[in-house]
Structure 1
Amino acid sequence: MSQVPDAVRAPTMTDVARVAGVSHQTVSRVLSQHPNVSPATRAAVMEVVERLGYRRNSAARALATRRTHTLGVIAANTTLHGPASTLTGVQEAARDRGYLVSAVTLRTPTQAALSEAMQHLGTWGVEGVIVVTSQRDTVRALAALDAPCPIVTVEGGDTLDLPGVSLDQNLGARMITEHLLAAGHSTVWHVAGPENWLESEARVAGWERALREAGAVVPPPVRGDWSPLSGYQAGQQLAGRVLASSGQGPGLTAVFVANDQMALGVLRAFREVGVRTPEDVAVAGFDDIPEAEFFPPPLTTIRQDFTKLGQTSIALLLDHIEGRADEPRQLTVAPELIVRASTARRRPA
């Protein structure tokens, strides 16, 4: 009898065990990454697995272990850079841990939409769910949700009795503001994001705290909606202030914009009326989108580590799924200040 399985059918675990000269149980332990297998045996079994092209039957494994190795992700506002990049980071981290991902994007941040998304994921037998959202409406809906499995939030704040992961938005805003103050500016103006976003609120709080600690004046923030157009409109307002105060004291010399897309709009509005960056007004953003280093001028910004966000959220979710954690911990990922030409040090008048 040949030791190689019939080419007309898919190889089975029994075929792998026979060709490798080990028991069926040993093959199962190797494939499930059980620690009680010697390196030599593991290598021999995996060589046979690759040679035969064996693939595990996920449906059969789920029936036997009551584990589907599938995670759900619910995300809102995925047309924006931050949520889209966070979603990608979560999906990649899940695949790296050997889990399939079923993702649902929310059109509207309502209780009904969230419940419908959770029901959809339930039909896939997900073992846990990551919810990527920073909008207060979605967070409120999530608080009222009766979830059938563990949930971890990403950028959902710390008001829920749920485990969560977020970038330290407050710290990132303080870092940008302190950088601009250290460059010689008497204060820093702010183009903020929408009021119903937790990320926006945290960035406003960090900016304001840095100014107050420095004894600087806190100007009224100008609101945008994350889009370049809203940044352009905010830039027109700020440019009017710059021109009106020309030659009348320090005026407006530095702007922290709550995301890089709005910063792009601010830069264009400034250029159109002859306000130079950074000679007249320094401009900084937040996110470090791929295009930021190619802005005219290259943009100083805060880099978010979306890969780390994904890895941390998946690790936290698996801790709860597998019983290694009970308390709803809140974890943060550190931001990174990226300094470029848009915030060159101010020269004394």
Structure 2
Amino acid sequence: MAKAAAEGAGSEPVSGDQSTRTPAVRRKPSINDVARGAGVSYQTVSRVITGSPLVSATTRARVLEVIAEVGYRRNKAATALVTNRSTTIGIVTDDSPRYGPVATLLAVESAARAAGYGSAVVGVKEPYDQSVPEAMGSLGDAGVDGIIVIAPLRTMAAAVRQVHTDVPVEMIAAGVSSSAHEQLFTFSENQELGARMATQHLIDLGHRDIAHVGGSMAWFDGRVRKQGWESALREAGLPQGFYAEGDWSPLWAYHLGLRLVREGVPEAIFAASDHTALGLIRAFVENGIRVPEDVSVVGFDDIEGCDVFLPPLTTVRQDFPALGQASIAVLLGSIEGVEVDRTPIPPTLVVRSSTTRHRRS
């Protein structure tokens, strides 16, 4: 036993094969494995992964099922080398903290991620004729596949139109028609329709004196919401009621509400945003004006908490997730050279307790 121990001292164990056997390493599934499993080409698998509209629903479902079965995960660096595409979408957005631009940004980024794309986000501010070209130029230098510009302001959109890029550019701007420039096109939610719905709701309740407490005319949103109010009144044969242009803030609306208390409160008000409606309602309630018994109020946006306002606010709900998904589909269609439906996303009227039928005296 001592001799055996001495012979083994200082030497590596050699008995058996366990010491030299290399554990088997399972190869990561490739895009070709997915293609074989689904019975399609690797190009089709790539289109499914990137959210291309060129794939039928049946094929897309089959490919996604195989992806889940084999546990495939795309290597974005390898994809970029093979396709000469970065699998990244650039997003340029105004640095406004307002609800609409922020909600749009989050929806677009989420939709891009769901389509298999990363996002490079650049915020811009005045002067736009300097910040916008710099932002779009930096994204172009980074090799993005396309750029989405969230442009709520007219001056920002004007700056975007002056920039020429080598990739498709989509501008989200309410009520703006597409440019003749082949690389720039527009998409949006139909906010004018939302304003018409809000105003028509008040008309249907029997109101005839319908005011509009609007947003800034420097914003596309403010312009199209005012246009919707005007159109609904005109089609109903009603005169335009009181109108005031503001800055979207509850504080501005609160002070305007105090003015209306002094000068005369209309039967009904379509407010350009929920925050505007909130400021008005506070001014009215503090001065004994009941909502909706004395004045019906409709907002726009359906921000979180509208359903617990006092009273719960009737408002127009924007479908930001649908807007984000459609915006990404439109951009990817342009990247793929395929025309995609660009019909603006319709909003929804949400009726709550801040509006009621007009009580004729």
Common fold by TM > 0.5: yes
Rounded to whole Å, the distance in 2 between the matches of 1:334 and 1:273 is 37
Structure 1 contact 13–27 (Cα < 8 Å) conserved: no
**Equivalent residue for 2:344, pick from 322, 327, 332:** 332
Deviation at 1:2, TM superposition (A): 7.0
Counterpart of 1:115? 133
Deviation at 1:320, TM superposition (A): 0.7
Deviation at 1:325, TM superposition (A): 3.2
**Equivalent residue for 2:287, pick from 273, 279, 290:** 273
Q: What are structure 1's unaligned runs of at least 5 residues?
A: 243-250
Rounded to whole Å, the distance in 2 between the matches of 1:46 and 1:262 is 47
Counterpart of 1:248? none
Please identify runs of 4+ aligned residues in structure 1 that moved more than 6 A.
37-45
Which aligned pairs between 1:72-221 and structure 2 lie closer than 5 A?
A: 72-108=90-126, 110-155=128-173, 157-158=176-177, 160-161=179-180, 162-221=184-243
Structure 2 letter corresponding to 1:4 = A
Whether 1:253 aligns to 2:267 is yes
Structure 1 contact 233–269 (Cα < 8 Å) conserved: yes
Rounded to whole Å, the distance in 1 between the matches of 2:197 and 2:98 is 23
Rounded to whole Å, the distance in 2 between the matches of 1:184 and 1:337 is 17
- The 3 A distance-change label for structure 1 pair 281 and 143 is same
Structure 1 contact 131–151 (Cα < 8 Å) conserved: yes
Whether 1:5 aligns to 2:17 is no
SS at the partner of 2:316?
A: strand
After alignment, is 54-63 or 285-294 more displaced?
A: 54-63
Which aligned pairs between 1:270-349 and structure 2 lie closer than 5 A?
A: 270-325=284-339, 330-349=342-361
Rounded to whole Å, the distance in 2 between the matches of 1:237 and 1:226 is 17
Rounded to whole Å, the distance in 2 between the matches of 1:47 and 1:298 is 47
SS at the partner of 1:71?
A: strand
SS at the partner of 1:153?
A: strand
- The 3 A distance-change label for structure 1 pair 146 and 335 is same
Rounded to whole Å, the distance in 2 between the matches of 1:41 and 1:133 is 36
Deviation at 1:42, TM superposition (A): 8.4
Deviation at 1:13, TM superposition (A): 5.6
Deviation at 1:189, TM superposition (A): 0.5
After alignment, is 312-321 or 218-227 more displaced?
A: 218-227
After alignment, is 171-180 or 55-64 more displaced?
A: 55-64
Structure 1 letter corresponding to 2:354 = S
Structure 1 contact 30–45 (Cα < 8 Å) conserved: no
Whether 1:62 aligns to 2:80 is yes
Structure 1 contact 30–42 (Cα < 8 Å) conserved: no
Rounded to whole Å, the distance in 2 between the matches of 1:159 and 1:39 is 33
- The 3 A distance-change label for structure 1 pair 238 and 160 is farther
Rounded to whole Å, the distance in 1 between the matches of 2:148 and 2:43 is 29
Rounded to whole Å, the distance in 1 between the matches of 2:336 and 2:206 is 52
Deviation at 1:56, TM superposition (A): 4.1
Which aligned pairs between 1:5-84 and structure 2 lie closer than 5 A?
A: 5=25, 32=46, 47-48=69-70, 50=71, 55-84=73-102
Structure 2 contact 214–246 (Cα < 8 Å) conserved: yes
Deviation at 1:123, TM superposition (A): 3.3
SS at the partner of 1:104?
A: strand
Rounded to whole Å, the distance in 2 between the matches of 1:310 and 1:99 is 13
Count of matched residue positions in the alignment of Structure 1 and Structure 2: 327
Deviation at 1:68, TM superposition (A): 1.3
Cα RMSD for the two superposed structures = 3.2
Rounded to whole Å, the distance in 1 between the matches of 2:189 and 2:256 is 26
Counterpart of 2:51? none
Structure 2 letter corresponding to 1:226 = W
- The 3 A distance-change label for structure 1 pair 144 and 330 is farther
Deviation at 1:294, TM superposition (A): 1.1
Rounded to whole Å, the distance in 1 between the matches of 2:228 and 2:297 is 17
Rounded to whole Å, the distance in 2 between the matches of 1:209 and 1:82 is 23
Deviation at 1:215, TM superposition (A): 2.0
Deviation at 1:168, TM superposition (A): 1.2
Structure 2 letter corresponding to 1:5 = V
Rounded to whole Å, the distance in 2 between the matches of 1:346 and 1:312 is 39
Task: Give per-residue Cα distances to partners, 1:232-276, cap 9 Å, x unaligned.
Answer: 12212222223xxxxxxxx61111100001111011111111111
Deviation at 1:318, TM superposition (A): 0.6
Whether 1:240 aligns to 2:240 is no
Task: Give per-residue Cα distances to partners, 1:25-46, cap 9 Å, x unaligned.
Answer: x9966963678x9999986775
SS at the partner of 1:122?
A: helix
Identity of matched residues, %: 40
Rounded to whole Å, the distance in 2 between the matches of 1:323 and 1:187 is 50
